[in-house]
Amino acid sequence: MNIFLYDNTFEGLLTVVFESFKLKILPDAIVYKNKYQPSLLDISFEIITDVLKAERVWNGIKAKTSKEACDMVYHTFLSGMDNIGMIIFHYLQLTFAANYNVSVNYREESVLLIKQIQQKVLKEAHRMFMFVRFQKTNNDIYFAPIQPKYDVIPLIGKHFKNRFRDQIWIIYDTERDYGLYYDLKTVEEIKLEQHNINKSSGKIDASLLEEKEECYQVLWKSYFDAINIKERKNLKVQMQFMPKRFWNYLPEKNNG
C-alpha cells in the first residue's frame, strides 16, 4: 500500500496531489501523519507542505473547472472525515483527466459525493448562524462557545463580522480549541490559553458575566416558552430542525 502522509492542512493535501502526480505514484491512502500507524506492508511518503505547489494545484482546478468548484473542494475538506484525503484525490484525478468541466456532472460518483459532503458542511455552517448564542462578559465581549460537527470556523467569520460590526465578539470552537476574535476592525483566529467555559453546558463562569446577562437569558427562555402553542406539540419536527447535539449550548434549552 502506498501511504501518503501529510500535516492535515488543506495546503498539505494539495501538495500531496502535486507530489503524487509528479512521482506518478497513486496513493492508496492519504493519512494525517500524527495518526499514522506504520505497517510492514506499507510504503509511506511523508509529504512536506509547500504553499507554492499547493497553489499550482489550486490554480489547476480553477482552470479546469470554476471558482465554485474550487470552493466545493475546500468545503469538503473542512468536513474532516477520516478518508477525506482520498475522496478529494479521486475527484481531482477525474477533474484533471477530463477534457471538460466535470464539477457538475453528478453522474460521476465522486462528483456527487463531493457535492453531498459540501452540502453537509455548508448546512453546519448555516446552523452556526442559527444557533450561536453570545454571552456578554463583564469586559464587554460577546462570547459564544460552539461545538460544530465539522470545522466550520473558516466559513462563518464574514457573516458575523457583517452583522455585529459594533460589538467585540469571540466565537470559540471548544472541541477543536480555536476560534474567531473580532475587535471592531478585523476578524482574527485565536487560541485561548485558558477559558472559563463549562464545556458541557457552554456556560461562562458567572463571575465573568456582565450583570444583566443572566437576566436576558431568563427573558429569552421565557419568550421561548410563551411563544409555543401547546395544542400543536410536535417534538419530532422540533428535533429535526434543531438536533439535540446543539441543545447544550442554547440558553433556551440548557437552563433546565
Partner 1 sequence: MNDTILEKLNVLANAAKYDVSCSSSGSSRSNNGKNIGNTVSCGICHSFTEDGRCISLLKVLLSNHCIYDCAYCVNRSSNDIARAAFTVDELAELTINFYRRNYIEGLFLSSGVMRNPDYTMERLMNVAKKLREVYRFNAYIHLKAIPGASPDLVKQAGLYADRMSVNIEIPTEQNLKILAPDKDFASVYQPMALIKENIIISKEERKKYRKSPVFSPAGQSTQLIIGASPENDRQILQLASGLYDFQKLKRVYYSGYVPVTLADNRLPALKQPPLIRENRLYQADWLLRFYEFKVDEIVNDEFQQLDLELDPKLSYALRNPHIFPIDINKADYEMILRIPGVGVRSAKLIVHSRKFGRLNENHLKKMGIVLKRAKYFITCNQLTDGHKDILPSIIRRNILNEKNKLLKRFNENQLSLFGDLVV
Closer residue to partner 1, CB minimum distance, 79 or 135: 135
Concatenate the DSSP letters of all residues of 184-207 into one string. SS-EEEE--S---B-TTT--B-GG
Closer residue to partner 1, CB minimum distance, 11 or 213: 213
Q: Is residue 234 close enough to count as binding partner 1 by CB under 8 A? A: yes
Q: Is residue 48 close enough to count as binding partner 1 by CB under 8 A? A: no
- N-terminal to C-terminal alpha carbon distance within the chain: 52
Q: Is residue 68 close enough to count as binding partner 1 by CB under 8 A? A: no
For residue 16, give the nearest of 85, 101, 97 by alpha carbon: 85
Q: Is residue 201 close enough to count as binding partner 1 by CB under 8 A? A: no
Residue 78 CB, nearest distance to partner 1 (Å)? Answer: 20
For the record, the C-alpha cell of 141 comes out as: 465581549
Q: Is residue 245 close enough to count as binding partner 1 by CB under 8 A? A: no
Which of these segments, 5-13, 74-82, 85-93, 219-227, binds partner 1 (CB under 8 A)?
219-227
159-198 mask for partner 1 (x: CB under 8 A)?
A: x--xxxxxx-------------------------------
- CA dihedral (228, 144, 172, 189) in degrees, to 10, reads 130
Residue located via cell numbers 477559558: 195
Closer residue to partner 1, CB minimum distance, 30 or 171: 171
**Which of 226, 245, 248, 249 touches partner 1 (CB under 8 A)?**
226
**Which of 66, 242, 248, 255 touches partner 1 (CB under 8 A)?**
242
Instruction: Give yes or no for a contact between 90 and 29, defined as CB atoms under 8 angstroms apart.
Output: no
Distance CA 182, CA 177 (A): 17
Instruction: Give yes or no for a contact between 94 and 129, defined as CB atoms under 8 angstroms apart.
Output: no
Q: Is residue 233 close enough to count as binding partner 1 by CB under 8 A? A: yes
Instruction: Give yes or no for a contact between 179 and 170, defined as CB atoms under 8 angstroms apart.
Output: yes
* Number of residues written out for the chain: 256
**Which of 130, 175, 183, 188 touches partner 1 (CB under 8 A)?**
130
Q: Is residue 123 close enough to count as binding partner 1 by CB under 8 A? A: no
For the record, the C-alpha cell of 206 comes out as: 458567572
| φ and ψ of 87, to 5 deg | -60, -45
Region 79-118 residues binding partner 1, contact defined as CB under 8 A: 104-107, 109, 112
Provide the binding-site residues for partner 1, judged by CB under 8 A.
Answer: 104-107, 109, 112, 126, 129-136, 142, 144, 159, 162-167, 212, 215-216, 218-220, 222-224, 226-238, 240-242, 250, 252
